[in-house]
Structure 1
Amino acid sequence: MTTSNAPVAAEQRETWTSSTGFILAAIGSAVGLGNIWRFPGVAYESGGGAFLIPYLVALLTAGIPILFLDYSIGHRYRAAAPLAYRRMAKPTETLGWFQIMLSFVIAVYYAAVIAWAASYFIFAFNLRWGQDTLGFFVGEYLKVGDPEISTTVVPAVAVPLVLVWVAVLVVIALGVTAGVQKVNVIFIPLLGVAFLGLVIRALTLPGAMDGLNAFFTPDWGALADLNVWIAAYSQIFFSLSIAFGIMVTYASYQRRKANMTSSGLVVAFANSSFEILAGIGVFATLGFMANQQSVQVSELEGLTGPILSFVTFPAVINEMPGGAIFGVVFFGSLILAGFTSIISILLGVAASVQEKFGLSRRGSAILVSGICAVLSVLLFSTTSGLLALDTVDQWANNVGIVLSAIVMTVLVVWVFRKSETLRRHLNAVSTFQVGRIWIALIGVVAPAFLVIMLGQKLVSLVNDGYEGLPQWYLNLFGWGTIVFVVVAAVVLSAIPWKGRDDEKFVPWPDVDKEVTR
């Protein structure tokens, strides 16, 4: 019989079978498509080798501290974001749903990019994209049209997109240990080996050193530019999968004595190491391309984002000896990186729905994956899919997630004053002890930079728009995304709980005694 002094349903909640399983899953979440196509370009445009200084500062003062904050909330309150926040302080449940709805939105369009990678994985065997890689990507493959609400589905995108969602459904339905953990235990080492092989091959190409010189040559004057520091904080923030419910959920499945901070350090530095490795591989390859075209690396276009992966790299592969093999491994790596990230995103959404509405694990997985799949096909496999995806991504990441982190740090540190309790909880279960400077970092330093980031982005979006798209389009897919997330968070918070009884929840007694000393 469960007494009032014992944890509620602690034995029924799944746990990772080992710290290694948790670490690999967390690395799988953090290492995604953005590591490969965003970091190299951001670093190059923000001072080259000099960028590593603000990047490291951002990692130590914001990335790791907020990662620890996510871990502490998830592990102490043992639930996905909405219920974990509710257990911490009831009014913060809405923040939990805000984060989960951001995850929901991101998953819907993120799957489309994985579907593109799956298509290009097949195309790479015979270099089907031809010589005009830009024309193939936006024309023959995506069939990009004008900014509009298109209902014309592109079968070449829709079919792999449906297959992606079927795979996601299977993994989520299998649960934490049989599904998510097993996938990451296989995929993350495979990704590491495959990408390391790509980098080694790229380094042997003519002109590779020119690319590395362009990437690492420091522009020390860039350190005096506030925008470079903002870019560093932005990159660290987005690459670690923090502040939108993922790591809260992952940490909730950890065992009682789980050494949370040491695991967090491993995840953070593994993620950054992969980003630097990606930068080396990407710019060695771009150096080869510049060499073939007899131009400088700085004269090349398409150094970031989908254009880098689906236009620039296919063009490089066309000119590379054994390019088909390189292409197969490269796009296979994109699939692995994207898939391990999307299952972490969907796990948080499915777990939240399961806990709120009292559904079974499989029932929740089917419901969430089914809704996401329908929306993905309707919105992002159409002729306007690329423009819609780019717009939603801009607002979800640069407005939604940053706003989420600001609100989270302010509520935890200043409104409900839970930071000291969470710090002691981390120290009670971990070997790496967190000092009170952690509270200053999550309560002052990180939110200060985040406010600057958000303010700068809002001014830019309001005054300059985005990519020349019409205002009605930005209102619908950009600002509309934020409105949808806010409204959905409020509505979901207002619905009575039918699942886990959070009223009877208490933290693990022995840990809690150490926390409250």
Structure 2
Amino acid sequence: MEDKNEWGSNLSFILAMIGSAVGLGNIWRYPYVLYSNGGGAFYIPYIVAILLMGIPFLILEYGVGYNFKSSFPKAVRKINSKCEYLGWFLPVAVFMIMIYYSAILGWDGIYMILSFTKGWGADPNAFFATTLLHSTDSYMGLLQFLPVIAIAMLVGWVIIWFISHRDLEKGLGKVSKVLVPLLFVIMIVIVGFSLTLPGASIGLAELFNPDWSLLGNFNIWMAAFGQIVFSLSLGMSIAFTYASYTKDDADLITNTISIALANSLFENFAALGVFSILGYMSLQSGNAVADLVTQGTGLVFVAYPTVFNVLGNWALVLGPLFFLAVYLAGLTSILSTIEPLSFSIQNKFGLTRSKTMSILCVVGAVSSMVYATAFGGSLLGFVDTFINQIALLFGVIVECIVFAWIFKAERLVDFLNSRSKTIKLGKWWIIIVKYILPIFVSIVWIGGLIDVINSGTIHQLNFTIVSAAILLIATLIFTLLPSKNPDWDKAEDRV
């Protein structure tokens, strides 16, 4: 018999969703995107993206999830039985994110320990790429196993299992109430300290120097919409799944606004700290901020250790705090990525939450060991690009079509408005989710697909094909397996 998954309170739901949205992307991805897309000018398309896509799409996901109170594939099957395959596609894709996210979590766990003694040495770049990851672009790197990385990743999997296999409120709900506020407090300390560093104003001036001419460039608008997709976990079936756990009196519109606002404040606040530190680095090294800015793992595992090396004794406090913040951000995000597939399996096969989570954690941990190899860093980049630029954006398009057109988003308006204490939905919302969103996201998706094809190496193209094959085959297996739950074809339609 499947477990009854329900949040103990509305606060648990909000904090869990904020935890899902606030992750590594807020700390390392957003500052880079903001800087490289016009600085202060980027706020115009950024705000438009939140209002035009972030909030409207989250309301759609929440509304349909709350309506059916079931897993994503079960709801999609209820809407149209021919669409069940699409219902499994997103939960499987999100679980693939969880598998490679565990590698980044493992790296950060190692750096959290190293930060107490600055164990990365005088050359953080060489330490990260060569000493720790033994990075290679050769396929033969898959045969070079890295025990230290593997152990760090397995520790993360044990923590994930310990939290997720418990009842929803006793596990994820309780942990979210602790980790999310703790993450915000730590970031306040880090940013507050960073703003006092000599040269901080240099970095902030670079960050907020508006390049208004870029507003006429379509790429800046694509970047803004892409950031909101990734930042708010749109199209990942996470929001849908979390909403299905809510109580009957939940005000989903107000909750959406609260979550989008908290996520936006966090990533913009984090940007202040990142560029204050880069300004300090610029002053100390004599290099321009533009030469120091980097995206991705390089900023977290190379730029920050470089700064900690010259901070003196302060680094022995700030370093562990920073890597703890990154670990918490990664942990709150990764906990959300197991929920959609877990709930889907519980729904279709009648397994308990505890058993399902245990199976998924074992499968995920074993699968993730491919990233504990010398080729793991390169492979992670390939899979991440495929999932984020191709699979998930495709998921947003599919959700818009299935939820807004086949299910008919109009059905949700009165239902959601009756519970809203803030704004009310109207024709503007229908126009956005049925027309504007699918068209614009389709353009961004095509752009991302073309970028992968045109700029990708032969290795990247090969592993993109392999990743796509794994995703499509796993999705097909879950779709074709016969249901063990007599309630699989009985999804309540509340509106």
Q: Is the 8 A contact 2:75 2:491 kept in 1?
A: no
Moved more, 13-22 or 234-243: 13-22
Q: Is the 8 A contact 2:69 2:492 kept in 1?
A: no
Q: Is the 8 A contact 2:7 2:13 kept in 1?
A: yes
1:68-79 → structure 2 map (5 Å cutoff): 68-79=59-70
Q: Is the 8 A contact 1:76 1:425 kept in 2?
A: no
Q: Is the 8 A contact 1:427 1:434 kept in 2?
A: yes
AA partner of residue 20 (structure 1): L
Q: Is the 8 A contact 2:74 2:491 kept in 1?
A: no
Task: Count residues with an aligned counterpart.
Answer: 492
1:73-472 → structure 2 map (5 Å cutoff): 73-148=64-139, 150-301=142-293, 303-321=294-312, 322-377=314-369, 379-414=370-405, 416-432=406-422, 433-465=424-456, 469=457, 471=458
Moved more, 268-277 or 484-493: 484-493
Q: Post-superposition shift, 1:434?
A: 1.5
Match of 1:490 in 2: 476
d(CA) in 1 for partners of 2:267, 2:149: 28
Match of 1:5 in 2: none
TM-score between the two structures when normalised by the length of structure 2: 0.96
d(CA) in 2 for partners of 1:179, 1:89: 33
Q: Post-superposition shift, 1:304?
A: 1.6
Residues 1:259 and 1:206: Cα distance change in structure 2 (over 3 Å): same
Moved more, 99-108 or 491-500: 491-500
After superposition, the C-alpha distances for 1:228-256 in whole angstroms (9 at most, x for unaligned) are 00000000110001111111111110001
d(CA) in 2 for partners of 1:429, 1:383: 53
AA partner of residue 416 (structure 2): L
Q: Post-superposition shift, 1:439?
A: 1.5
d(CA) in 1 for partners of 2:462, 2:478: 22
Residues 1:356 and 1:417: Cα distance change in structure 2 (over 3 Å): closer
AA partner of residue 249 (structure 2): K
d(CA) in 2 for partners of 1:335, 1:75: 30
d(CA) in 1 for partners of 2:284, 2:215: 33
AA partner of residue 224 (structure 1): G
Q: Is the 8 A contact 1:37 1:308 kept in 2?
A: yes
AA partner of residue 479 (structure 1): I
Q: Post-superposition shift, 1:382?
A: 0.6
Match of 2:8 in 1: 17
AA partner of residue 411 (structure 2): T
d(CA) in 2 for partners of 1:161, 1:500: 37
AA partner of residue 453 (structure 1): V
Q: Post-superposition shift, 1:335?
A: 0.5
* Secondary structure class of the residue paired with 2:489: helix
AA partner of residue 166 (structure 2): L
Q: Post-superposition shift, 1:479?
A: 2.5
Residues 1:256 and 1:36: Cα distance change in structure 2 (over 3 Å): same
After superposition, the C-alpha distances for 1:363-395 in whole angstroms (9 at most, x for unaligned) are 101111100000001x11111110000100000
Q: Is the 8 A contact 2:230 2:388 kept in 1?
A: yes
d(CA) in 1 for partners of 2:353, 2:451: 42
* Secondary structure class of the residue paired with 2:165: helix
Q: Post-superposition shift, 1:446?
A: 1.6
Q: Is the 8 A contact 2:60 2:403 kept in 1?
A: no
Backbone CA RMSD of aligned residues: 1.6
Q: Post-superposition shift, 1:417?
A: 4.5
Q: Name stretches of at least 5 consecutive residues in structure 1 with no aligned partner.
A: 1-8, 513-517
d(CA) in 1 for partners of 2:281, 2:214: 26
Q: Is the 8 A contact 1:25 1:180 kept in 2?
A: yes
* Secondary structure class of the residue paired with 1:38: helix
After superposition, the C-alpha distances for 1:44-92 in whole angstroms (9 at most, x for unaligned) are 0000001011000001001111111111121111112111222233223
Match of 1:515 in 2: none
AA partner of residue 263 (structure 1): N
Q: Is the 8 A contact 1:77 1:88 kept in 2?
A: no
* Secondary structure class of the residue paired with 2:65: helix
Match of 1:45 in 2: 36
Q: Post-superposition shift, 1:203?
A: 0.2
d(CA) in 1 for partners of 2:68, 2:153: 35
Q: Is the 8 A contact 1:87 1:502 kept in 2?
A: no
Q: Post-superposition shift, 1:500?
A: 5.5
d(CA) in 1 for partners of 2:486, 2:39: 50
Match of 2:56 in 1: 65
Percent identical across equivalent pairs? Answer: 36
TM-score between the two structures when normalised by the length of structure 1: 0.92
After superposition, the C-alpha distances for 1:325-364 in whole angstroms (9 at most, x for unaligned) are 1110110000000001111111222111111111111110
Moved more, 119-128 or 431-440: 431-440
* Secondary structure class of the residue paired with 1:257: coil
Moved more, 361-370 or 434-443: 434-443
d(CA) in 2 for partners of 1:412, 1:190: 36
d(CA) in 1 for partners of 2:75, 2:417: 19
